[in-house]
Structure 1
Amino acid sequence: MINTDSFSQRPVFISIVGASCSGKTALANNIAKRFSDHQVSVIAEDAYYKRQDHLTPEERVNINYDHPNAFDHDLLSQHIHQLRTGQSIASPTYDYVTHNRADATIPVSATPVIIIEGILLYHEQALRDLFALKLFVDTPLDICLARRVERDVIERGRTVDSVLSQYHKTVRPMYREFIEPSKYYADLIVPMGGYNEVALGVLDSKITQLIDS
């Protein structure tokens, strides 16, 4: 059930969860494009991977990045609470080449609506309860894998073998264990992600109501 009591608070937080490469980022960005930068902001859970300064690059490669322990959800929760009180935050950024948090940060203002997208936002109740509207992107895993291979090889300099190895070792098992069951907590299931025009239209109307309320 949608937590309508939270809609009276500013900003309102909307979450988008789904498998890796299911279309979460596309959905978040396509929603945001329908509004101005002063109305809607987007934050990626990926930016909140824990720092791994104490590990060598070789050791970082072996981390299970699809497990809840890989994320600094305490920092994400802290930033959500800051935004809720009208404060701006310096969102961290992540370097996929070095497998570590980067030094650069991105300023995020307390806009009326803030969308947060990621794979494990619904794992902890304390974090789930911060979202007024929870979405789950439901995309077949074979499509997600094809997108992941293309993305990681072209954008992140990985080999096909390494992408497939990581997928079978951690990505798919963690999806089955943690991500897929979290669909239960969603208020709305969005098939095929960010280019679902029907879903985008519904969300456009709902977000407009939130901004104008």
Structure 2
Amino acid sequence: MEKRLPIVIAIAAVSGGGKTTITSKLKDKLQNSQALYFDDYDFAGPEDIMEWIDNGGNPDEWDLSPLIRDIKNIRNEPLEYLILDFPFAYLHTKTSDFIDYAVFIDTPLDIALARRIRRDFKSSSTEIILKDLETYIVRGRQGYLNMLETTKPNSDLVVDGTLPINEIVNVITKNIARKDN
């Protein structure tokens, strides 16, 4: 009998869109699963993210070797699911073959920005927050829009990011069950 590999589910969203939260909740809901989080890694990638986006934002410019190594190792474990908090869906050439199902959490940019500010600037001064907002207005928003133009259409499932967390998780699990059958 051939060993069955875990189903690899990639969860993508803009920064503040809910990737990490949904990945964690999905891991809790799906039995016999494990999760890997993009932000837990220190990847070699573009030095200037905005310049990278201005030049097309090619995901292959990121060296994801540590993540790929972990995916390969985990795929050998007796798991049903491996959930990735991963911003690129199928767009990174060296990871796309590992992903069975890509989900995009489609969170409105104003909500994502508010969440990011609340998350990243809890103890920051007003001046620092205002400077970050200016950067977002001048250049950062383009990065969010880039994901909507690239990652979102390259996903198997797009879920409304304004839904309650448990509803988002339920939508994903129902769609995974359909795909698995």
Q: Give the TM-score band, short-chain normalised.
A: 0.7 to 0.9
Deviation at 1:177, TM superposition (A): 2.8
| Residue ranges of structure 2 left out of the alignment (5+ in a row) | none
Aligned partner of 1:149 in structure 2 is 117
Q: Return the match for 1:186 from 130, 155, 169.
A: 155
The 3-state SS of whatever aligns with 1:154 is coil
Counterpart CA distance in 1 for 2:13 and 2:95 is 16
**Residue type of the partner of 1:30?**
K
Closer/same/farther in 2, CA of residues 113 and 22 from structure 1, 3 Å limit: same
Aligned partner of 2:81 in structure 1 is 113
The 3-state SS of whatever aligns with 1:10 is coil
**Residue type of the partner of 2:33?**
V
- Using the TM superposition, name which of 120-129 and 133-142 deviates more: 120-129
Q: For the Cα contact (< 8 Å) 2:12–2:104, is it kept in 1? A: yes
Q: What are the Cα deviations for residues 131-180 of structure 1, in whole angstroms up to 9, with x where unaligned?
A: 1111001011011111111111117x573034324434553222323453
Q: How does 1:120-139 map to 2 (within 5 A)?
A: 120-139=88-107
| Residue ranges of structure 1 left out of the alignment (5+ in a row) | 1-7, 53-61, 87-109
2:7 matched to 1:22? no
**Residue type of the partner of 1:125?**
T
Q: Return the match for 1:64 from 28, 43, 49.
A: 49
Q: Return the match for 1:85 from 50, 56, 76.
A: 76
2:155 matched to 1:204? no
Deviation at 1:115, TM superposition (A): 0.5
Q: What are the Cα deviations for residues 1-48 of structure 1, in whole angstroms up to 9, with x where unaligned?
A: xxxxxxx83222100011001111121122222245xx1111111222
**Residue type of the partner of 2:70?**
H
2:176 matched to 1:176? no
TM-score for both structures, normalised by structure 2: 0.74
**Residue type of the partner of 2:8?**
F
Q: How does 1:99-110 map to 2 (within 5 A)?
A: none
The 3-state SS of whatever aligns with 2:24 is helix
Q: For the Cα contact (< 8 Å) 1:22–1:193, is it kept in 2? A: no
Counting helix residues as a fraction of each chain, which structure ranks higher?
2
Count of equivalent residues: 170
Counterpart CA distance in 2 for 1:20 and 1:150 is 12
